[in-house]
């Protein structure tokens, strides 16, 4: 009997509260547009409980009920509300990392800028609904940005110029210039993937006329002799020096038997059918090659990530010992320009060398480490002397013969 009397009184009292609510229309906006609008009924028991326990303060209810989740609080406000709001997750999208594309044909990079992602903050949305609850509840869709993992600045750093070297071949014969151009063109645009190695011979191919190479001068067995593909070693040498400066690892390189004119001693890399130049990429980044041969200067550019660790390095060539030579190789001069017994030096002997190359590391201008890269032996070269096919005694005998005839 008391309950029947008390209940109408309680309802009358509750009806007098300004904060008494039985339904609300929820309107959610995003980017200045309405993305969600729906009418919801608040259960009577929820209204009574919040009125009695939280003085009708729905925000207080949300903040103090830490024992239940935001989704449970929404369903306490109106059954099914939490599930309805899940459709707003269509506004979630993942971030897009900055990226690059290496165009091997024209050896340049194109870049794509990063884009932030976003995720709807469902907890913040629930809190906002409770804090702004009214017959017409209007809230903005709260979104949290998701930062991309890789920014454009980082991508550009990972594709920056790390190694460069150039050599001159302007005085070379046309056939040698042709071979340099062919070999450099085969390397142009090549990529050395993380943990992978580049074989010069595999990329450039056999030095044969069928593979596009011409007859020129090569070094063989300590002599300069004609051979198909002469000039290709200048390309391998230039690549060797560019890759050293980029911080790549040289797995295999062999010196010439004689010093070459286009680089200091112990800075060359001879290639042949049996000897290769192998360059290893020990990093987690890709490295990219660009070559340019304009008929006078061969330039090789290596792009990739910085491997220096903040150090500046210098490659130093040192001649440790000279091996003198005074030997000559004689050749017969049948031109008739030499008198019998006359000798003419065509080429002076050239000393051999023992040399080393060192990598010097500097930090803030101070030399902090020196590492020997290699030590090489270059053979001494004989001189060349032209001699007449006739000895002086032959001339004396001829003069006696002519005198006898005349007498």
Residue 301 to residue 198: CA distance in whole angstroms: 15
- What domains does the chain contain, in order, with CATH numbers? 2-93+121-141 (no CATH), 160-307 (no CATH), 311-402 (2.20.230)
Q: Is the confidence at residue 407, as pLDDT, over 50? A: no
pLDDT, residue 17, reads: 41
Residue 404 vs residues 260, 393, 397, 399, 400: alpha-carbon distances, Å: 56, 17, 11, 9, 6
Lowest average pLDDT, out of 94-98, 155-159, 350-354, goes to 350-354
Q: What is the pLDDT of residues 107-117, one digit of tens each?
A: 999 999 999 99
Count Cβ neighbours within 10 Å for each residue of 203-233 and write b for 16 or more, e otherwise. ebbebeeeebbbebbbbeeeeeeebbbbbbb
Q: What is the pLDDT of residues 307-345, one digit of tens each?
A: 888 888 899 999 999 999 888 888 888 877 888 888 888
Q: What is the pLDDT of residues 258-278, one digit of tens each?
A: 899 999 999 999 999 999 999
Task: Give the rounded percent of residues in the chain with a pLDDT score beyond 90.
Answer: 74
Lowest average pLDDT, out of 8-12, 73-77, 176-180, goes to 8-12
């Amino acid at each position: 009997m008391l309950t029947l009397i008390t209940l109408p009184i309680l309802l009358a009292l509750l009806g007098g509260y300004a904060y008494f609510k039985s339904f609300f229309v929820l309107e959610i906006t995003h980017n200045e547009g309405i993305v969600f609008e729906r009418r919801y009924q608040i259960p009577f028991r929820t209204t009574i409980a919040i009125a009695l326990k939280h003085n009708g303060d729905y925000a207080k209810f949300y903040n103090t009920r830490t024992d239940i989740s935001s989704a449970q609080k929404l369903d306490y406000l109106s059954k099914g509300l939490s599930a309805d709001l899940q459709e707003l997750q269509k506004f979630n999208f993942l971030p897009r990392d900055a990226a690059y594309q290496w165009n091997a044909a024209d050896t340049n990079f194109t870049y794509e800028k990063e884009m932030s992602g976003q995720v709807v903050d469902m907890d913040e949305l629930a809190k906002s609904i409770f804090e702004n609850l009214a017959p017409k509840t209007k809230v903005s869709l709260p979104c949290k940005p998701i930062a991309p993992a890789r920014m454009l600045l980082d991508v550009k750093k990972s594709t920056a110029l790390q190694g460069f070297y150039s050599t001159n071949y302007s005085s070379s014969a046309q056939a040698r210039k042709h071979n340099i151009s062919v070999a450099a063109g085969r390397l142009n645009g090549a990529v050395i993937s993380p943990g992978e190695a580049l074989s010069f011979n595999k990329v450039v191919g056999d030095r044969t006329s069928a593979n596009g190479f011409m007859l020129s001068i090569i070094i063989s067995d300590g002599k300069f002799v004609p051979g198909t593909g002469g000039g290709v070693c200048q390309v391998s040498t230039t690549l060797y020096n560019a890759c050293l400066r980029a911080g790549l690892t040289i797995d295999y390189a062999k010196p010439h038997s004689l010093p070459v004119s286009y680089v200091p001693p112990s800075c060359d890399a001879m290639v042949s059918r049996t000897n290769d130049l192998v360059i290893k990429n020990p990093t987690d980044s890709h490295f990219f090659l660009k070559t340019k041969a304009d008929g006078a200067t061969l330039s090789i550019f290596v792009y990739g990530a910085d491997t220096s660790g903040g150090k500046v390095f210098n490659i130093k060539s040192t001649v440790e010992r000279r091996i003198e030579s005074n030997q000559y190789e004689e050749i017969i001069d049948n031109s008739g320009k030499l008198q019998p017994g006359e000798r003419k030096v065509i080429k002076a002997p050239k000393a051999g060398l023992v040399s080393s190359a060192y990598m010097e590391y500097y930090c803030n201008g101070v030399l902090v480490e020196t590492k020997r890269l290699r030590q090489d032996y270059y053979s001494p070269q004989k001189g060349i002397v032209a001699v007449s096919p006739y000895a002086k005694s032959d001339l004396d005998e001829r003069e006696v013969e002519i005198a006898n005839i005349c007498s």
